[in-house]
Amino acid sequence: MGRKTAPLADRELSWLAFNARVLQEAEDPTVPVGDRLDFLAIVSSNLDEFFRVRVASLRSLLRLGKKTAAELGVEPRALLAEILRAVDVQQTRFGVVLREQVLPALRERGILLVDERQLGEAETTWLRTFFEREVRPRITVLGLDQEPPPFLENRGLYLAVALEPAQGPRIAAGPQEIALVAIPPAVPRWVCPPAAQGERTVLFLDDVIRLCLPALFPAHAIAGAWSVKLTRDAELSLEDEFSADLVTALRRALAKRSVGVPSRFLYDPDMPDAVLSRLRNRLGLEAEDLFRGGRYHNLHDLFAFPRFDPGGLRAPPLPPLPVLDDAPSILAAVAERDRLLHFPYQSFEPVLRFLREAAEDADVDAIWITLYRVAKASAVVDALAAAAKRGKAVTAVIEVKARFDEEANLDAAARLEAAGARVVYSDPELKVHAKLALVSRREGGESRLYGYFGTGNFNENTARIYADHALLTADTRLTRESRRVFAYLLGETEEPRFKHLMVAPFGLRRRLRRLVNAEKKAALGGKPAAIVLKLNSLEDPKSIRWLYDASAAGVPIVLIVRGICRLVAGLPGVSETIEIRSIVDRFLEHARVYRFYAGGKDRVFLSSADWMTRNLDRRVEVAFPIYDESCRAQLMRFLELQLADTVKARRIDAEFSNTYVRDGSAARTRAQLDAYTWLAGRGEKDARKPA
């Protein structure tokens, strides 16, 4: 296939299609209403980040000028228009789900969301007292006409309040005074006044402030109050998102801009045009910055919506299953054989035990680890700090460019350095995304290495909701090569070589291509061939061309892609043998699994790397083979369940229609619940049997 003929779906529209799949969960009447609120919160949060990063980037391209953008092969204006149409559709669906489905379902359970116009006298009195005690001391008021003009915080919530003199006629030629009242983030967004028996009343904090505006402005009459919110450019790492030529052009454009320029100004559609015009002028906004929103913004706060009695509002919990609890020592259990962990179905505790044992074991002399996103008050960092304080040589390679987690990572670095650990920050041009830990233990006069290889972060909090796999192993084929990865990260070697691990930027791309081409060659020779890939994102054009070529040769390919997917399935002569599905359920699918038939050997790899250009070329990533038969059987079982899902799986097609996978049978497979049941009922002993 010619390089220029490979069709690619648009990245941004593909991402929006993923967000639409999340919205489908909120629309699903079989999902408990409390969980539907959570999915709405995720949709809102996703769109917020999308505007901060992706839309802000496209807006930057517009500033390059038509000629420059054309030379780079980019047409941002038409794409932006298409994006905004898709976002508008999602926001309309969002409003319908919230107003017409979720809130009525809550009302049936006695939970009422009301505003300041629907209150009784007792509730009003209670709220005024609450305002004076809890809210007023934390409120900031900005005058729109102050000098310099007010600066709106990124994603901060404000009420634009139109004020008129409390007494006497308004001067006809004089404009209304406009104040911006910051809704304080230190006060919970939801306020629950005492309610009638059997009912629970909830208000947005915004409406409590609306109710009490006369107390804030006693010398004025309130002519109106409308919610506004400004989202600012996240100043993303450009190398993660664009080609080198485009990065150079964008950096020139960004050098002329102030930090955190506006990317979206949301306003209440009931706001008068004259008020909106004054806000735009004083805040230095462009017409394309303005977006009609609703009466309320920052609806990711629906995560914190009061559930009161949780009975029936959420799906039954799936507590993490204990694993290796009966092992007196994690290190001894790993020395016996490889151990594969499955989060969040199984507990993250073995990972913490692995690090804590290493900290306490007198024979352990060194620990190396990569940290990309850590929890606040991280138990992982606690264990590493304890090891350093006991005199172990602890080395932590910390990625401080993990978007939106920079602060937590810097805090972790400071804690580790204070404990005596060696902290190494990644190269500014090369993110470290691999999830590795290595423990060196003296045994029989020699050092033995124990390794951890994961698809997800060392984060005990996200391990409760992200579906990931992790391998604990003492297999020298893997641990010795893991040590080479750390040697590179620590500047001990410049060009490490690997036989068993596939490592970016040192050959991961090249070796993946060989694996795909081996399946292609087998198919062309009339032999069985197959590829199954489970990814968060499939974006890299070169990788997509490999898969198109393999499909044209007759290789059956199944892709399980959670988010962005630029490959187009089912095209005659191009991708007829490719099927793409996506699973959105109660856990976030985060694992990357590569399976190749390999002449019946079933070569299976786990990895931190998606098939995106940034992951294959501009990050340190590791894909690791699963050699242990029992571990491989467990992974095959997970893949089988995902490929059989007829409840939460959707097909990804060229139209981004997100149709559910159905087989017409009465029996239904729901991969996540069935995986949990399988692990709980059969346990690790049965998991050793081939699936």
Catalytic residues: 433
Whether residue 21 contacts residue 214, with contact meaning beta carbons closer than 8 Å, is answered with no
The length of the chain, given as a count of residues:
691
| CB < 8 Å & 24+ apart, contacts of 241-245 | 241/53, 241/57, 241/614, 242/57, 243/613, 245/72
- Nearest residue to 626 (alpha-carbon basis) of 593, 659, 652: 593
Neighbours of 73 (CB within 10 A): 9
Measured in whole angstroms, how far is the alpha carbon of residue 575 from the centre of its chain? Answer: 29
Q: CA-CA distance, 429 to 561, in Å (whole number)?
A: 27
Bridge partners of 579, per DSSP, are 558
Q: At what angle do helices 541-552 and 508-524 cross, to 10 degrees?
A: 10
Max intra-chain CA distance, the chain: 94
If you compute the radius of gyration of the chain from its CA atoms, what whole number of angstroms results? Answer: 28
- Nearest residue to 510 (alpha-carbon basis) of 518, 502, 500: 502
DSSP letter for each residue of 8-76: ---HHHHHHHHHHHHHHHHH-TTS-HHHHHHHHHHHHHHHHHHIIIIIHHHHHHHHT-HHHHHHTT--H
Q: CA-CA distance, 610 to 561, in Å (whole number)?
A: 10
Q: CA-CA distance, 35 to 283, in Å (whole number)?
A: 38
Sequence letter at residue 388:
A
Neighbours of 374 (CB within 10 A): 28
Measured in whole angstroms, how far is the alpha carbon of residue 45 from the centre of its chain? Answer: 10
Neighbours of 265 (CB within 10 A): 21
For the chain, helix (H) and strand (E) counts, in that order, are 21, 26
Q: Specify the 3-state DSSP secondary structure of 112.
A: strand
Whether residue 384 contacts residue 396, with contact meaning beta carbons closer than 8 Å, is answered with yes
Beta-carbon contacts of residue 232 (< 8 Å; ≥ 6 apart): 52, 154, 155, 260, 261, 262, 263
Whether residue 457 contacts residue 402, with contact meaning beta carbons closer than 8 Å, is answered with no
Q: CA-CA distance, 562 to 538, in Å (whole number)?
A: 9
Peptide bond into 320 cis (omega under 30): no
Q: CA-CA distance, 504 to 510, in Å (whole number)?
A: 10
Measured in whole angstroms, how far is the alpha carbon of residue 451 from the centre of its chain? Answer: 26
Q: Specify the 3-state DSSP secondary structure of 418.
A: helix
Q: CA-CA distance, 691 to 689, in Å (whole number)?
A: 6
Is the C-alpha dihedral spanning 591, 58, 303, 649 positive or negative? negative
Measured in whole angstroms, how far is the alpha carbon of residue 203 from the centre of its chain? Answer: 29
- Nearest residue to 162 (alpha-carbon basis) of 39, 273, 58: 273
Q: Specify the 3-state DSSP secondary structure of 394.
A: strand
- Nearest residue to 542 (alpha-carbon basis) of 237, 250, 239, 243: 243
Whether residue 620 contacts residue 399, with contact meaning beta carbons closer than 8 Å, is answered with no
Whether residue 417 contacts residue 423, with contact meaning beta carbons closer than 8 Å, is answered with yes
- Nearest residue to 228 (alpha-carbon basis) of 251, 196, 258, 262: 262
